Amino acid sequence: MNSQLPLSLAHCRVLIVGLGLMGASLALALRGKCKALYGVDRNEDTCRLALMHEVVDAVWQDATKTRPVDMMILAVPVGQILGLLEQINEAILTPTVIMDVGSTKTVICRAMEKLAEHLDPIGGHPMCGKETLGIQSADAAIYQGAPFALVPLERTSSYAKSLAEQLVAAIGSRVVWLDAETHDRIVAAVSHLPYLLASALTLSVPLELTSLIGPGFRSSTRLAATPTTMMLDVLKTNRSFILEAVERVEEELSRLKAYLYREEYELLNSRLNVAAEHLQRILQKE
């Protein structure tokens, strides 16, 4: 570790690349908790709003043309993260901790392995958000109490791990240390599959059958509104684990369908009770 680097987050200059929902919310949650807070966003209106509402201290539209910082956080869709890693590898010449907050980790961590020696990478993924994106939806509270996965590489220094852990604590989230493959297997089941299921359920309901829609349908389908600008990269980069998760849910749905088709209501009732009990066990582990 470079002895000139600050040991605490409070003395760090932090740059957040991407001031949409996640990046701007992170900036709001970090205000007053680091030495300086900068932002990058390609959208001119987003940059203007970020300065107007004092989300960051300064803002640029190009991640390769900013002030030197101690920590850079990539808060853009997965495909853009991969492109940025290539750009900053050539443009950032000073020791910097590089962290991303993308929804998949294996592909990103593999790309991070190729970063120059003076760049200290660590993967990250906060399990929070909204269906509406953009700086207008930013809210520091989304991070409060949320699990925040930290995914170190073999090359990740103890300094980068400490700084990332300090950041997670500062925004009110809780650290979950994982390797990249385990992370991707988990989020395929608990995040990416629910998005596909919400989309499938939405598409299966004809418009003429919507007059009695209530909170059950709304809560079950809300994820379908998540913009594909974020989700398509996720589906592409976590394809194998998502397909495994889809196969598991297809098996369960086929079983319930068979019980109903054959009018085996005792078996149906038993399986539904198993589901209710399993849900309680899942929620108790949170």
> What is the domain-level CATH number for residue 74?
3.40.50.720
Predicted pLDDT at 286: 67
Looking at the domain assignment, is residue 4 inside a domain? no
| Shared domain check, 167 and 96 | yes
Predicted pLDDT at 29: 97
Of 130, 159, 178, which residue constitutes the final position of a domain?
178
| Shared domain check, 132 and 13 | yes
Spatial separation of the C-alpha atoms in residues 214 and 198, rounded to whole Å: 15
pLDDT in tens, 182-192: 999 999 999 99
Looking at the domain assignment, is residue 2 inside a domain? no
| Shared domain check, 195 and 174 | no
Predicted pLDDT at 41: 96
Is pLDDT above 70 for 2?
no
| Shared domain check, 189 and 174 | no
Looking at the chain, the whole-number percentage of residues with pLDDT higher than 70 is 98
Which residue range forms the structural domain that includes residue 264? 183-284
Q: Shortest CA distance to 194 belongs to which of 150, 242, 240?
A: 242
Of 140, 160, 178, which residue constitutes the final position of a domain?
178
Predicted pLDDT at 90: 87
| Shared domain check, 16 and 141 | yes
Reported confidence tier of residue 51, pLDDT bands at 50, 70, 90: very high
Reported confidence tier of residue 83, pLDDT bands at 50, 70, 90: very high
- Angle, alpha carbons 146-163-34 (nearest 5°): 85
* CATH code for the domain in which residue 254 is found: 1.10.3660.10
Looking at the domain assignment, is residue 274 inside a domain? yes
Q: Shortest CA distance to 71 belongs to which of 53, 98, 39, 52?
A: 98
Predicted pLDDT at 13: 96
pLDDT in tens, 120-168: 999 999 999 887 788 999 999 999 999 999 999 999 999 999 999 999 9
In the structure, how many helices (H) and strands (E) does the chain have? 11, 8
- Pick left, alpha or beta for residue 87 (phi over 0 → left; psi -120 to 50 → alpha; otherwise beta): alpha
| Shared domain check, 173 and 191 | no
Is pLDDT above 60 for 3?
no
| Shared domain check, 67 and 16 | yes
Tell me how far the alpha carbon of residue 48 is from its chain's centroid: 25
**Total domain count for the chain?**
2
pLDDT in tens, 196-236: 999 999 999 999 999 999 999 999 999 999 989 889 999 99
Q: What interhelical angle do 193-203 and 239-261 show, nearest 10?
A: 50
Is pLDDT above 60 for 60?
yes
| Shared domain check, 106 and 201 | no
Looking at the domain assignment, is residue 3 inside a domain? no
| Shared domain check, 162 and 238 | no
- Pick left, alpha or beta for residue 32 (phi over 0 → left; psi -120 to 50 → alpha; otherwise beta): left
| Shared domain check, 259 and 155 | no
Over residues 102-127, the mean pLDDT reads 97
Looking at the chain, the whole-number percentage of residues with pLDDT higher than 90 is 91
Predicted pLDDT at 209: 93
Reported confidence tier of residue 285, pLDDT bands at 50, 70, 90: confident
Is pLDDT above 80 for 1?
no
| Shared domain check, 171 and 83 | yes
| Shared domain check, 208 and 159 | no
- Beta-carbon neighbour count of residue 220 at 10 Å? 14
Spatial separation of the C-alpha atoms in residues 192 and 197, rounded to whole Å: 9
Q: Shortest CA distance to 162 belongs to which of 89, 99, 92?
A: 99
Q: Which residues of 183-217 are buried (b: 16+ CB within 10 A; e: fewer)?
A: bbbbbbbebbbbbbbbbeeeeeeeeeeeeeeeeee
Looking at the domain assignment, is residue 234 inside a domain? yes
Identity of residue 38 = Y
pTM of the model: 0.92
